[in-house]
Amino acid sequence: MRHFRSVAVVVVLTVIAAAPLLLRAQPKPNPRDVSKLYGELCASCHGPKLTGAQAPSLLDDVWKFGGDDASISKSIKEGSLAAGMPPMANALSDQEVRAMVIFIREEAAKFKRGQSTFAKPAADTVVKSELHTFKLETVVNGLGVVWGIDFLPDGRMLLTEKSGRLRIVEHGKLVPTPVGGVPEVWAKGQGGLLDVAVHPDYSTNGWIYLSYSDPGPDGSAMTAIVRGKLKDGQFVEQETVFKVPTELYRTGENHFGSRLVFDKGYLFFSIGERGQKDDAQDITRPNGKVHRIFEDGRVPDDNPFVGKAGALPTIWSYGHRNPQGLAKDPATGLLYDAEHGPRGGDELNLVQKGRNYGWPVITYGMNYDGTPMTDLTAKEGMEQPVNYWVPSIAVSAIAFYTGTKFPKWDGQLFLGALAQEELRRLVLADGKVTHQEVLFKNVGRVRDVVSGPDGYIYVSFDGGRVARLVPAPGEPGTASR
Ligand code: HEC
């Protein structure tokens, strides 16, 4: 319950003096940074840090007029003049109001973070999470950015270093020489050697798949996929599984995606929009899409855009920004992607045939410089995310846990975050995220997360470390043999 302040009279008087001035300010055509707009239009009443002054705090999660996005937008636009909140509909555009809501959410999250502590597991520290206690145990260290992790049936671990090297870890030790003969990669910005995936029937066919930024003419690049076999430390018998004509390549260092997911003879993979927002809506281009092909690269003729003039037939869904996570729920067979959004626009999506995921027409985010992008968060014909994060946590990879070492986590979704340096556990039910837990934080930018065949959860950090979550002594998974 909010307490009405005895200073109400003072507030009203201040408003009467300030309101005409505020109401005259018209939105400028140039995009304006909302944190500055807050300082100019709101700080005098709600306090420079949003913690409240003569007007209530915007960070305490107490909302007189409702705390959902729409209600807060309405409070800002319409105000409540009698109580001393001037209507801002004339001072701010709809897009700026939307960006202001994102800004308030960001500041509230920062405020909360300052008040709570998260597990920051050092070596041998036991972390007590909600359902399991675990340790974060280093597997290998001293690598570059480890983008992808997968396992061979014999237990060897394959790692991709973004710089362009494929590595093997055998019996817990890094094989010193990288695998030879992998394709040349465009290793700049967010590009390089990306995901690695071992074919589900590896023991009979020996295929290993790699996704990577393929260099094109004039400094351009695009995500491509190759498969090959491992022989005497070399990547041999290579076959290109996916590559578009170089006219479709893009310059710029951002948003390559990508992850690989096998599903009943098909290969799904994601490509970021390469920093070209509008390409995500353009089905003649490969970027900003999730694709589906057969495992040898052929195009299934029941793909949604097969036969559509100009369309790339491999496209399965579009309107994606930078899907750096892609995973199939083993229980339902449904495919999910985790999409690194703009500021305040990270998403988890249920990826379905032919659907449009809206980027950049709809988003819950704004530009990184604090200027608005759009006030549209939903539109007919465009899909809503299963979950979104405002503020952004900078989502990277996702994985469903399928092991037996942490029985209470069975089938749940694990999600890595870069900027927030987190590993999260998500519970999905009826197409919604019903619970989230931050398992640890601030030990490094989490790049990949994988449910290992041995039941441990493997995580790679941008600092070049691969670690795994192992049950702490006393957990069911550690019962003495
Ligand atoms: C002149 C003082 C004043 C200014 C300027 C002002 N506010 Fe307010 N605001 C108030 C007061 C007072 C209330 C509480 C109204 C009430 O309790 O009915 C309020 C309420 C709100 C609420 C609703 C809170 C709730 O509990 O539901 C929001 C959101 C809000 N303000 C945002 C803003 C933003 C954003 C700006 C700047 C664009 C702004 N305000 C500028 C005085 C101000």
Concerning whether 132 is annotated as a catalytic residue, the answer is no
Q: Is the dihedral of CA 242, 244, 245, 251 positive or negative?
A: negative
Q: So what's the pLDDT on residue 276?
A: 97
Tell which CATH architecture fits domain 8-115: Orthogonal Bundle (1.10)
Confidence at 114, pLDDT banded by 50, 70, 90: confident
DSSP state of 53: S
d(CA 407, CA 410): 5
Ligand 1 within 6 A of CB of 64: yes
pLDDT at 41 over 50: yes
Q: So what's the pLDDT on residue 295?
A: 98
d(CA 418, CA 392): 10
Q: Domain 143-392 classified CATH 2.40.50.100?
A: no
Ligand 1 within 6 A of CB of 44: yes
Q: In what order do the strands lie in the sheet with 260-263?
A: 260-263, 266-271, 289-294, 315-318
List pLDDT tens digits, range 458-470. Answer: 999 998 999 999 9
What is the mean predicted confidence (pLDDT) over 324-347? Answer: 96
Which atom of ligand 1 approaches the CA of 100 most closely?
Answer: 35
Ligand 1 within 6 A of CB of 75: yes
Cα(115) to centroid of ligand 1, in Å?
24
Burial tier of 453 (Cβ tally within 10 Å: 0-12, 13-18, 19+) = middle
By C-alpha distance, which of 205, 204, 158 is closest to 178?
A: 158
327-349 per-residue burial string, b: 16 or more CB within 10 A, e: under 16: bbeeeeeebbbbbbbbbbbbbbb
- Mean pLDDT check: name the lowest of 3-7, 25-29, 463-467: 3-7
Ligand 1 within 6 A of CB of 18: yes
Cα(49) to centroid of ligand 1, in Å?
14
Give me the catalytic one of 46, 132, 199, 255. 255
By C-alpha distance, which of 86, 126, 89 is closest to 440?
A: 126
pLDDT at 84 over 60: yes
Decide whether 8-115 matches 143-392 in CATH topology: no
Nearest CA to ligand 1 atom 43: 85
Q: So what's the pLDDT on residue 419?
A: 87
Confidence at 83, pLDDT banded by 50, 70, 90: confident
Nearest CA to ligand 1 atom 33: 76
Q: So what's the pLDDT on residue 478?
A: 55
Which atom of ligand 1 approaches the CA of 4 most closely?
Answer: 17
Q: So what's the pLDDT on residue 124?
A: 66
List pLDDT tens digits, range 190-202. Answer: 999 999 999 999 9
Cα(369) to centroid of ligand 1, in Å?
24
Return the amino acid letter for 131.
Answer: L
Integer CA distances (angstroms), 116 to 60, 111, 208, 267, 383, in order: 14, 9, 43, 42, 34
List pLDDT tens digits, range 206-262. Answer: 999 999 999 999 999 999 999 999 999 999 999 999 999 999 999 999 999 999 999
pLDDT at 22 over 60: no
Ligand 1 within 6 A of CB of 76: yes
pLDDT at 16 over 60: no
Q: So what's the pLDDT on residue 15?
A: 41
Q: Where are the domains of the chain?
A: 8-115, 143-392
d(CA 286, CA 395): 22
